[in-house]
Amino acid sequence: MLGNFSYSNPTKLYFGKDALDGLNEELPKYGKNVLLVYGGGSIKKNGIYDKVIKILKDNNKVVFEDAGVMPNPTSDKLNEGIERAKKAKADLILAVGGGSVCDYAKAVSVSVNCNDDAWDKYYIRFEDVTCDIIPVGCVLTMVGTGSEMNGGSVITNHEQKLKIGHVFGDKVFPKFSVLNPEFTLTLPKYQMVSGIYDIMSHILEQYFSGEDDNTSDYIAEGLLRSLIHSANIAVENPSDYEARSNIMWTATWALNTLIAQGKSTDWMVHMLGQSVGAYTDATHGMTLSAVSMPYYRYILPYGMAKFARYAVNVWGVNPDGKSQEQVANEGLDAMEKWMRKIGLVMNLTDLGVKEDMIEGIVKGTFVMDGGYKVLNADEIRQIIIKSC
C-alpha cells in the first residue's frame, strides 16, 4: 500500500427490500423542512414517490419539491435548485433517483449558503466548501455512479460545453442512502447496461495504474468478477433479484473511495467520456464504453504486466506458453466481446459525435497523470477518432 492515509466513510447504508424503512430512523435527526429532489418522473410511475411522501408525512415533515433534474444535470438547473432550497429553508435535501439526482443534491447542498456562482467556484476554480452545508440523504433508483456513498458531483455547462466533476470531501457525502434493489427493476435495459459499464469503468480506472502489489487491486478483481457474473444473469433476466442486488452492492463499493486507497488511479476514460458528454448529452456509461477499447489498446504497452494480470485473474485467460503481450491482448479481446454481448454502445458515432465536434472534445478533455501514460492532445485526438 503506497503512502499514508486515514480512512473512514460517513455514509450509512440501508440495503435490501425493506431498506426504505431506514428513513424512519434517519428523518427524526433533521429539522422539519425537507427538499425532495427528483428527476423526470420515473419515481411517480413506479410508486416510489408515494412511498417516500408517506414516510415524510408520517415523520411530520414539511415537504418542498424540486423536480425535473435531468440526466447529466446542468448548471442552469443547479442555480434554480439553489433558489428553491433557499426558499424552503431546507434542513435536509432528500434525493430520490439516480446519480444525476444525487450529484445535483450535493451541488445544491454546498451552494445554498454561499454567495459565489456555484459553477465558477466548484467546477472552474475547484474551490473547497467554505459555507454551511445542507445535509443530503439519498434513495437510489438507478445503479452505477456510486454517488450514494461518495462526494462526487458532476455538472454540465451547455453554454461552455464542459462537463466537470468535483469530488467533495466526506462532509458532502450523503449522510445516509437507501439501497433497495427492487427500486431499480423498472429501469430500461439501456440504462441498466449503461450502469453496469459505469461500475466496470470505475473499478478499472482505479485498477490500471501502478506497479506495486496492492490489496486494493485484489479487491477490484473480486468486484469485477462478481459484476461480470451478475451482469450476464441480469442481461438475460433483468428481474433476477439476486443478480440485481449484487450489481447494486458492487456499484457502491466500486466508487466509495475504498479501492482507491494506497494506490494511484487513472480516470482518463472518464475524462474522455465527460468531454463527449458535454457535446452529446449522451448517457454516461455509454460515453465510457464507446472510448474504452481504443483507450485501453493504446495504453496497453505501457502497463503490459497489469493488463496480463487482468486477463488471467478477471477474464480467465490461460497464460501457458503465451507471451505477456499475447495474454494481455486476449484479456482485452474477451472484454470487448463481453461488452458487445451485453449491448453497450461501442463507438462515438452512435452517440451523435460528428467530425466537427472532435477538436472541442479533445480540448475539453482533462489530462490526468495517475495512469500508465500521460496523454498529449495528439494522443487524445487519435483515441477519439478511433472511437468514432
Give me the residues that bind ligand NZQ (CB under 6 A), please.
39-43, 46, 71-72, 97-101, 103, 141-142, 144-147, 150, 152-154, 165, 183-184, 186-187, 191, 195, 198, 255, 270, 284
Beta-sheet pairing, 33-38 with 92-97? parallel
Grid cell in block for residue 18: 425493506
Residue 176 contact among Zn ion, ligand NZQ, none, beta carbon within 5 to 8 Å by kind? none
Residue 292 contact among ligand NZQ, Zn ion, none, beta carbon within 5 to 8 Å by kind? none
Nearer to Zn ion, 135 or 152 (CB): 152
Nearer to ligand NZQ, 99 or 137 (CB): 99
Q: Please state, as a whole number, how many other Cβ atoms lie within 10 Å of the Cβ of residue 96.
A: 26
CB of 305 to ligand NZQ, least distance (A): 27
Nearer to ligand NZQ, 206 or 230 (CB): 206
d(CA 283, CA 277): 8
Q: Which residues pair with 152 in a beta bridge?
A: 167
CB of 220 to Zn ion, least distance (A): 15
CB of 270 to ligand NZQ, least distance (A): 6
d(CA 385, CA 388): 5
CB of 316 to ligand NZQ, least distance (A): 27
CB of 80 to ligand NZQ, least distance (A): 16
Residue 303 contact among ligand NZQ, Zn ion, none, beta carbon within 5 to 8 Å by kind? none
**CA-to-CA separations, 159 to 118, 156, 261, 364, in angstroms, rounded:** 15, 9, 36, 13
Nearer to ligand NZQ, 163 or 263 (CB): 163
In 102-161, the DSSP E strands lie at 136-140, 152-157
Nearer to ligand NZQ, 206 or 246 (CB): 206
**Half-sphere exposure of 111 toward its Cβ, with a 13 Å CA cutoff?**
27
d(CA 97, CA 109): 16
Report the chain's C-alpha Rg in angstroms: 20
Of the candidates 136, 137, 94, 129, the residue with the CA atom closest to the CA atom of residue 113: 129
Tell me: does residue 26 bind Zn ion (CB under 5 A).
no
Question: Rounded to a whole number, what is the largest CA-CA distance in the chain?
Answer: 68
Beta-sheet pairing, 136-140 with 176-179? parallel
Nearer to ligand NZQ, 270 or 309 (CB): 270
Nearer to ligand NZQ, 128 or 212 (CB): 128
CB of 304 to ligand NZQ, least distance (A): 26
| Residue choice 198, 217, 266, 330 for contact with Zn ion (CB under 5 A) | 198
Q: Which residues bind Zn ion (CB under 5 A)?
A: 198
